[in-house]
Amino acid sequence: MSENKSLKGGEFLIRETKAEDIFIPEEFNEEQRMMAQTCKDFNDRQVLPNIDTLDTHDRELSIKLMKEAGELGLLGISVPEEYGGFGQNFVTSMLTTEEMGKGYGFAVTFSAHTGIGTLPILYFGTEEQKKKYLPKLASGEYIGSYALTEAGAGSDPNSGTTSAKLSEDGEQYILNGAKIWITNGGIADLFIVYAKIDDDKNLSAFIVERDTPGFTIGPEEEKMGIKAASTVQIYFDNAKIPAENLLGPRNGGFKIALYILNLGRIKLSGATTGAGKATIAQTVQYANERKQFGQLISSFGAIKSKLAEMIIRNFVSESLTYRASQNIDDAIDALIAEGMDKDKADIEGIRQFAVEASIAKIFGSETLDYVVDEGVQVYGGMGYSAEMPVERAYRDSRINRIFEGTNEINRMLIVGELLKRGMKGELDLITPAKAVAAELMQIPEFGSATVDYFEEKRKMIVNFKKTILMVAGAALQKFTTTLQNEQEILMNLADMLIYTYGAESTMLRVQKLNSKYDENKLKVYKDILDVFMADAAFKINKAGIDSVNYFATGDEKQGMLMGMKRFTKVASVNVVTARRHIADKLIEDNKYNF
């Protein structure tokens, strides 16, 4: 394994990555593509023709489709073979998540079951719990759900009040309380429930079966979108749970919840990537049929600009999602090679890349919101009609910025996690931050007139990272331990990190494609990269300036503003022509083919 390939989570900020050390979607093998095709066929034949009925809360149909998915093996992609699954790696599971993400609200049903409804048992269950439940979850005999959220404990799950008490004979836990927004709750056979035992500081996790005495399930919630996914409240009134259904150690539930949320975040970005591709394809097909002023609307520059931006953002989202997914697989493989148990290695690999998972969740959800919003706009008045698929896509997308921790919470987690790792010595942030501060005092290099295309982009990425280190270092010095309370600064720093990671991931993907495609075929991907990096430079500059203007004064402020200008300087890009080129390929193909 090369040095670069073994980058730790969050380390992208202070170390460079080589193109050959990342995974790109163009590298999926035949077996992986066959799995994706099975998912596509299932969506096309079973889900999409029934989506209107699913939106009416038809629980029987949802259960039927989940069982059919189980029969095809789609529910057991990540489950080891000894428990009835396929035992595929993280990247493969992400590909199937992406393809299933095109199934509107049913995608949520599928993802909740295969992710947060199944994996807590796989990663934290005893051997007895795994043998008892995983084969049923993998086959679709059981449908899984996850019950963490409470009315008074949304973004702070550890403050939940659902309680558990061990019976006097030690054979049962007695649960009392209620949970809200439980995805799959109306159709699930199995629930991963979080509660505090006695006066414990932290949550514990329990496996609860549907027919448990004292456990009741409320009616379906009426929601803005994802109507095809069952969402209910659940209640515990002296519900008796077998003591052996404690999942993981006592007091360990909060840690389980955090790990599973990290997993759910990056999986969500896979699903949004798939949904984005589907919406873009539908939108261009409509634009290629709809005429105004005697010509197809796909010929208008304003429409082309929208279509191109939809592609650019979705391409970036896909690039960073699969880069991070392979990083997780590499980390897991390395830990196993060092002698760690497979389940523990999975947990640790996902934990290591919590920063990247939050980045992917934010960028993916905000990209899909942009794509579906512009999709409605291209459709015009018809986009507002429930007869058109883009109307459902628009409503179903909105939850993703709230799911798996709001995007605001995730932005603060990104910066907080990086700083925590720096303070623990896991990442050396101080040395590069000092180097940037010293560089501000030096005369800048102007470079040569002729620079290799990818070398120019690499230097831009390096400079983007310098802006982050400069602002974060100064802010930490200014606020020290109270920086966590300066939420606007944290949000700005997070945006700088998100755009930098997206730009670098896309640059590395296009650079890798450089060895696969001829210059003519590569041109559209360079256009995508050029436009995104120009936009990223602008947005990083704005976020940095807003932060500096808030907390810096005098010479320090002027020096940092000059540094910001220097580090976000990019060569001028003809974005109009670039966007037209990107859109023209989409229009000609009449489908998403990037």
**CA 40 – CA 470 distance, rounded (Å):** 46
Asked which of 40-49, 77-86, 367-376, 444-453 is least confident by mean pLDDT, the reply is 444-453
550 closest CA partner among 482, 483, 488: 488
Print the SS3 string covering 417-459.
HHHHHHHHCCCCCHHHHHHHHHHCCCCCCCCCCCCCHHHHHHH
Tell the burial category of 122 from Cβ atoms under 10 Å away from its Cβ (0-12, 13-18, 19+). buried
In this prediction, residue 365 carries a pLDDT of 98
Question: Is 403:368 a contact under the CB 8 Å cutoff?
Answer: no
Determine which helix (DSSP H) or strand (DSSP E) holds 267, and give its type and residue range. helix 253-287
Residues forming a β-bridge with 216: 235
Tens-digit pLDDT profile for residues 93-134 = 999 999 999 999 999 999 999 999 999 999 999 999 999 999
**CA 65 – CA 54 distance, rounded (Å):** 10
**CA 250 – CA 254 distance, rounded (Å):** 10
In this prediction, residue 439 carries a pLDDT of 86
What values do phi and psi take at 155, rounded to 5?
-80, -5
The structure tokens listed for 91 are 């990247």
The answer as to CATH 2.130.10.10 being correct for domain 146-250 is no
Please report where in the chains the tokens 């899984």 appear, as a residue: 144
In this prediction, residue 214 carries a pLDDT of 97
**CA 111 – CA 113 distance, rounded (Å):** 5
Binned at pLDDT 50, 70 and 90, residue 2 comes out as very low
In this prediction, residue 1 carries a pLDDT of 31
463 closest CA partner among 557, 320, 564, 573: 564
- CA-to-CA dists, residue 372 to 282, 392, 486, 583, angstroms: 10, 9, 32, 17
**CA 139 – CA 161 distance, rounded (Å):** 34
Which whole number is the average pLDDT over 365-393? 97
DSSP string computed for 564-582: HHHHT------HHHHHHHH
Which whole number is the average pLDDT over 228-256? 96
Percentage with pLDDT > 90 across the chain: 90
Q: Any idea where the domains of the chain sit in the sequence?
A: 11-16+254-408, 24-143, 146-250, 429-589
Looking at CATH, the fold of the domain delimited by 24-143 is given as Butyryl-Coa Dehydrogenase, subunit A; domain 1 (1.10.540)
Binned at pLDDT 50, 70 and 90, residue 446 comes out as low
In this prediction, residue 445 carries a pLDDT of 67
Print the SS3 string covering 52-114.
HHHCCCCHHHHHHHHHHHHHCCHHHCCCCHHHCCCCCCHHHHHHHHHHHCCCCHHHHHHHHHH
- CA-to-CA dists, residue 32 to 25, 148, 187, 263, 384, angstroms: 11, 33, 30, 20, 37
- Coil, strand or helix: which one is 518? coil
Tens-digit pLDDT profile for residues 252-281 = 999 999 899 899 999 999 999 999 999 999
- Coil, strand or helix: which one is 151? coil
In this prediction, residue 448 carries a pLDDT of 58
- CA-to-CA dists, residue 56 to 62, 108, 387, angstroms: 11, 15, 15
Instruction: Decide whether 11-16+254-408 matches 429-589 in CATH topology.
Output: yes
Looking at CATH, the fold of the domain delimited by 429-589 is given as Butyryl-CoA Dehydrogenase, subunit A; domain 3 (1.20.140)
The structure tokens listed for 102 are 């095109």
Average pLDDT taken over every residue of the chain: 95
The structure tokens listed for 405 are 């921790």
Tens-digit pLDDT profile for residues 280-309 = 999 999 999 999 999 999 999 999 999 999
Amino acid at 244: E
**CA 585 – CA 583 distance, rounded (Å):** 5
Cβ-proximal residues to 487 (8 Å cutoff; 6+ apart), any chain: 408, 412
Helix 301-337 and helix 575-589, axial crossing angle in degrees, nearest 10: 80
572 closest CA partner among 536, 539, 531: 531
DSSP string computed for 451-490: --HHHHHHHHHHHHHHHHHHHHHHHHHHHGGGGGG-HHHH
Which whole number is the average pLDDT over 573-594? 97
154: pLDDT strictly greater than 80: no
Question: Is 54:106 a contact under the CB 8 Å cutoff?
Answer: yes
User: Which residues are identified as catalytic?
Assistant: 404
**CA 377 – CA 375 distance, rounded (Å):** 5
In this prediction, residue 5 carries a pLDDT of 54
What values do phi and psi take at 429, rounded to 5?
-90, -20
Tens-digit pLDDT profile for residues 70-102 = 999 999 999 999 999 999 999 999 999 999 999
**CA 75 – CA 80 distance, rounded (Å):** 12
357: pLDDT strictly greater than 80: yes
Rama region for 198: left / alpha / beta (φ>0; ψ in -120 to 50; rest): left
Residue range 11-16+254-408, CATH number: 1.20.140.10
In this prediction, residue 3 carries a pLDDT of 43
In this prediction, residue 7 carries a pLDDT of 82
In this prediction, residue 40 carries a pLDDT of 97
Determine which helix (DSSP H) or strand (DSSP E) holds 178, and give its type and residue range. strand 172-183
